[in-house]
């Protein structure tokens, strides 16, 4: 399984950066997790990886914020794509998806694709879903912004097995102890305490940016 970071606040040379997040999961099916802020940046970075909309089978949207749904127009060029969004998304966002593709509304945990599981709707100030990926190196957790609390996400994802890695935005997460024992920590996008996480877990911490690729 490969994970390709398509959108992030930072970018590798040759890629574009913007405030937002998107990650492509290449497995038995290609699953796009979030779409960044703009279709232009998502398209540019995807094309740098040689990825086109018609190569993507499914899309998972973590939560209904513009920096995770703003690039939808690019992927919705593929009319065969299936989009998994929370049932609490706005009617406007859901209608936007239904006009071009199949919408699957998520509430409870569900298997998105073989070995790719949604945590289901986890709520705090904002409803959000994350992903638990079954890999040869145990479970990889993929988050959008972790508004629901990273500790809650890790607990839910841990129902699928031991957590090997966590990648994505952690927002204002401070309960650092729950990261102990995780082999790879790639804090991206909206993570407020990235330097502190890097200081506490120097061996596990991995720099992340648009253009970065992980293989598990």
Looking at residue 1, its pLDDT comes to 97
> pLDDT tens for residues 62-120?
999 999 999 999 999 999 999 999 999 999 999 999 999 999 999 999 999 999 999 99
pLDDT at residue number 159? 97
Checking 85-89 for CB contacts under 8 A at 24+ apart, the result is 85/60, 85/61, 86/61, 86/121, 86/127, 86/128, 86/129, 87/121, 88/64, 88/121, 88/127, 89/61, 89/64
> Considering the entire predicted model, what is its pTM?
0.97
| Separation CA 88–CA 195 (nearest Å) | 33
For 2, 17, 68, the CA distances from 12, given in Å and listed in that order, are: 17, 8, 20
Sole residue written with tokens 């079954």: 134
Write b or e for each residue in 32-46: b if 16 or more Cβ atoms lie within 10 A of its Cβ, otherwise e: bbbbbbbbebbbbbb
Q: Measure the CA dihedral 52/57/61/66, to 10°.
A: 20
Quote the CA–CA distance of 69 and 91 in Å, as a whole number. Answer: 14
Mean pLDDT of the region 49-59: 98
Chain mean pLDDT for the chain: 97
- Cα–Cα dist 88/110, whole Å: 16
**Total domain count for the chain?**
1
Residue 158 DSSP one-character state: G
pLDDT at 25 over 90: yes
- The first and second tokens of residue 209, run together, are 């940016």
How does pLDDT run across 160-184, given as a tens digit for each residue? Answer: 999 999 999 999 999 999 999 999 9
* C-alpha to C-alpha distance for 64 and 57, rounded to whole angstroms: 20
Q: 46 Cβ partners below 8 Å, 6+ apart?
A: 6, 24, 52, 74
pLDDT of residue 125: 83
pLDDT at residue number 77 = 96
Q: What is the pLDDT of residue 10?
A: 97
Output 124 or 200, whichever has higher pLDDT.
200
Q: What's 155's domain CATH number?
A: 3.60.15.10
**pLDDT tens track for 126-165:** 999 999 999 998 999 999 999 999 999 999 999 999 999 9
Domain range holding 192? Answer: 2-215
> 114: closest CA among 56, 31, 214, 34?
31
Residue whose entry in the numeric block shows the structure tokens 């407020």: 192
């Amino acid at each position: 399984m490969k994970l390709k970071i398509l959108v992030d606040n930072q970018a590798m040379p040759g890629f574009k950066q913007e405030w937002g997040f998107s990650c492509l999961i290449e497995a038995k099916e290609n699953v796009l997790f979030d779409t960044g802020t703009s279709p232009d940046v998502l398209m540019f970075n995807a094309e740098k990886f040689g990825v086109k909309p018609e190569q993507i089978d499914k899309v998972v949207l973590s939560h209904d914020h513009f920096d995770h749904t703003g690039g939808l127009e690019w992927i919705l060029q593929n009319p065969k794509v299936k989009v998994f969004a929370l049932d609490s998304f706005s009617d406007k966002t859901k209608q936007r998806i239904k006009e071009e593709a199949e919408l699957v509304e998520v509430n409870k945990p569900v298997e998105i694709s073989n070995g790719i599981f949604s945590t289901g709707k986890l709520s705090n100030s904002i409803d959000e879903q994350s992903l638990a990926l079954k890999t040869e190196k145990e479970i990889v957790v993929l988050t959008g912004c972790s508004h629901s609390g990273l500790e809650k996400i890790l607990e839910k994802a841990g129902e699928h097995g031991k957590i090997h890695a966590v990648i994505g935005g952690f927002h204002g997460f401070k309960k650092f102890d729950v990261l102990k024992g995780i082999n790879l920590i790639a804090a991206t996008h909206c993570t407020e305490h990235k330097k502190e996480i890097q200081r506490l877990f120097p061996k596990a911490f991995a720099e992340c940016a648009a253009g970065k690729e992980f293989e598990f």
